[in-house]
Amino acid sequence: RPKSEITDEQYQEFYKHLTHDYEPPLAWTHFKTDGHQQFTGLIFLPKNRPFDLDGTARRRGVRLFVKRVFIMDDCEELLPPWLRFVRGVVDSDDLPLNVSRELLQDSAVVRAIRKHVVKKTLDLLEKLSKDKPEDYTTFWKSFGAILKEGLAAEPDNREKLGALVRYESSREEGLTSLADYVSRMKEGQQAIYYVFGESRKALEGSPHLEALRKRGYEVLYLTDPVDEWAAQGLREFNGKPLVSALQADLKLQESAEEK
């Protein structure tokens, strides 16, 4: 049905029917493409973390339909693992009704659908972060660690993902974006500094931060197990390199007084 005919309540009811989640979704996007591939998609961002998100199967929650005929649940080929929290449906006009797993893995149509679904999901997250920052914080606390996997797994989306990540910071309590960090950088500061550790409390007393604190430089606290791997994938943001405060050869510019 056209988006204009569907109410928010109907979208929320459909989401609950699809996922058996008792809570309404945080956000959703409904789209239709015409061109080389014709398909309709409806994807939702859950509020709560599904219990089966990180089991051995690592299910992905998008159902595939072909010409409105149900084909399969949890179609892995439509979403990368770092978007496995997304729930929704995709209905393709171009795939055959007898489509198999093997065909899905080697299908240009499926690759085009996946690319579009990834783009629409990242656009939805960007919109949520700008329009409803509190809802985005809720999302990030549930799924941020999973989203960060994409920094190393898919370099093509590194820039968009870099704008979406949030970290704890030495500057203030709560989460901050890399864009906000860059906007607060001290004059002469060359890099975005971060430090890995188990918790904010453990990192605040780290002797590695003394030289940075002395200069008034903000430091990001990376406390998720995935962070070390993900930060290597990101490497820079807005032209500013990400540099670990734990590096033995950390180079800091000296002020005239220090020289």
Give ∠ CA 46-134-42 in degrees, rounded to 5. Answer: 30
Distance of CA 115 to the CA centre of its chain: 15
> Looking at residue 251, what is its pLDDT?
63
Position 126 scores a pLDDT of 97
Looking up tokens 């590194």, which residue turns up? 158
| Alpha-carbon distances of 113 from 92, 119, 148, 217, 250, rounded to whole Å | 9, 10, 22, 43, 44
Q: Which two tokens stand for residue 208?
A: 């590695």
The pLDDT value recorded for residue 68 is 94
Q: What is the pLDDT of residue 257?
A: 57
Low-confidence ranges of the chain (pLDDT < 70): 51-60, 248-259
At 115-130, the pLDDT tens digits run 999 999 999 999 999 9
pLDDT (0 to 100) of residue 54: 66
Contact 58, 106 (CB under 8 A): no
What's at 25, amino acid-wise?
A: P
Predicted local distance difference test score (pLDDT) of residue 57: 53
- pLDDT tens-digit readout, 131-163: 999 999 999 999 999 999 999 998 899 999 999
Among 251, 129, 250, 249, CA closest to 178: 129
How far CA 213 is from CA of 44, 127, 132, 137, 210, in Å, comes to 41, 34, 32, 27, 5
Confidence at residue 61, expressed as pLDDT on a 0 to 100 scale:
86
pLDDT at 203: 87
Please, where are the H alpha helices in the chain?
A: 8-19, 101-105, 108-131, 133-147, 149-153, 158-164, 178-183, 200-204, 210-214, 227-234
In terms of Cβ atoms closer than 10 Å to its own Cβ (0-12, 13-18, 19+), residue 98 is exposed
d(CA 228, CA 98): 43
**Res 52: pLDDT:** 65
Which residue type is seen at 248? A
The predicted pLDDT at position 253 comes to 58
What is the pLDDT, as a whole number, of residue 259?
53
Please report the pLDDT score of residue 74 as a whole number.
87
